[in-house]
């Protein structure tokens, strides 16, 4: 593999036959030796893929040839290659049809038209975000789970203590964030897709002035790196797990066992557990400390 890259993208658009799209996308990726994860629903597509840059560009051309996907904003980042030339970021290809592109458990609240999501937040480019912060007292609202936000977030952001995206609806309905309903709130997530769903959910619950960072943290990092409003590392959904935007990334995370500063995210040492944890390498080397907090209590 000459130049390994990672491709991140999504599109909200009505799809009449998601299964046909799944078969086409699987065949296209397979023919180009592109690997990763693609989710398809009646509302669109969401994907993170890895491979050689030449093959990925062919994939982009092939995908854009389908009219509903013509204007997708594809985001690129550096990838890794194995010695045999295959992508080290994704071991296999998975293309699946599901009920929701992002599992908020609120499929009945999402409405689409020919332009995408109806009644979502106002999109802001990174430069527009900076202008808004200069003009108003903005509240940043993290649209990711607590493991992701623990290792990196916007300065002063509200970090909901959720383990999964599905918990956001209950968190919003709990009243814990009602005091933000009359404030300018900027939501953000990795690539932007979670905010496409989160912002209409917030507006339906009375949040008056809601924005979303267009392209998510990935796009902001390309524009400002670690010299803007972002602090720390970015959690990513491939074998890298985390990535930094510069050589001077701040360590904002801390080990959940000893509180040593770290951006290291690890899987629970119990093979039956799917939970992750922010845990330093020293604690992970201790076999008794290689479990998530739930399993340490149980043991």
Q: Are 1 and 51 in contact (CB under 8 A)?
A: yes
Q: Are strands 209-213 and 184-188 parallel, antiparallel or unpaired?
A: parallel
- Paired residues of 152 in beta bridges: 232
Q: What are phi and psi of 154, to 5 degrees?
A: -75, 145
DSSP 192: S
In sequence order, which ranges of the chain are alpha helices (DSSP H)?
18-32, 53-64, 126-135, 146-151, 168-173, 193-204, 216-224, 281-285, 293-298
Kindly name the residue from 189, 195, 268, 280 that is annotated as catalytic: 189
User: Buried b vs exposed e over 222-235: b needs ≥16 C-beta within 10 Å?
Assistant: ebbebebbbbbbbb
Q: How many CA atoms lie within 13 A of 152 on its CB side?
A: 28
Residue 26, SS3 per DSSP: helix
Residue with structure tokens 């491939």?
A: 238
Q: Which two tokens stand for residue 31?
A: 């023919």
Nearest Cα neighbor of 268 from 147, 102, 165, 143 is 147
Known catalytic residue at 189? yes
CA dihedral sign, ordered 170, 173, 174, 177:
positive
Q: Can you tell me the distance from the alpha carbon of 248 to that of 120, in angstroms, rounded to the nearest whole number?
A: 34
Q: Are 51 and 28 in contact (CB under 8 A)?
A: no
Q: Are strands 152-154 and 230-232 parallel, antiparallel or unpaired?
A: antiparallel
CA dihedral sign, ordered 45, 49, 55, 57:
positive
Active site residues: 189
């Amino acid at each position: 593999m000459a130049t390994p890259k990672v491709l991140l993208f999504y599109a909200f658009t009505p799809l009449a036959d998601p299964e046909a799209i799944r078969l086409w996308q699987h065949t296209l990726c397979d023919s180009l030796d592109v690997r990763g994860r693609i989710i398809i629903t009646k509302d669109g597509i969401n994907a993170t893929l890895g491979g050689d840059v030449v093959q990925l560009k062919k994939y982009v051309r092939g995908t854009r040839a389908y009219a509903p996907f013509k204007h997708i904003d594809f985001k690129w980042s550096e990838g890794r290659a194995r010695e045999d030339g295959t992508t080290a970021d994704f071991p296999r290809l998975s293309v699946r049809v599901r009920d929701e592109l992002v599992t908020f458990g609120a499929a009945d609240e999402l409405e689409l038209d020919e332009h995408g999501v109806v009644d979502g937040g106002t999109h802001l480019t990174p430069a527009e975000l900076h202008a808004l912060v200069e003009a108003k007292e903005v509240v940043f609202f993290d649209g990711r789970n607590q493991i992701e936000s623990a290792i990196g977030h916007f300065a002063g952001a509200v970090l909901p203590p959720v383990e999964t995206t599905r918990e956001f609806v209950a968190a919003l309905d709990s009243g814990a964030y009602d005091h933000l309903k009359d404030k300018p709130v900027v939501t953000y997530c990795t690539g932007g897709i979670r905010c496409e769903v989160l912002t209409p959910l917030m507006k339906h619950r009375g949040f008056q002035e809601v924005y979303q960072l267009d392209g998510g943290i990935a796009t902001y990092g390309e524009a400002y790196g670690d010299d803007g409003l972002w602090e720390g590392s970015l959690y990513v959904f491939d074998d890298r797990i985390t990535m930094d935007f510069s050589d001077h990334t701040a360590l904002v995370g801390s080990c959940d066992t000893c509180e040593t500063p770290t951006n290291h995210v690890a899987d629970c040492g119990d093979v039956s557990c799917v939970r992750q944890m922010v845990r330093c390498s020293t604690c992970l080397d201790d076999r008794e400390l290689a479990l998530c907090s739930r399993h340490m209590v149980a043991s």
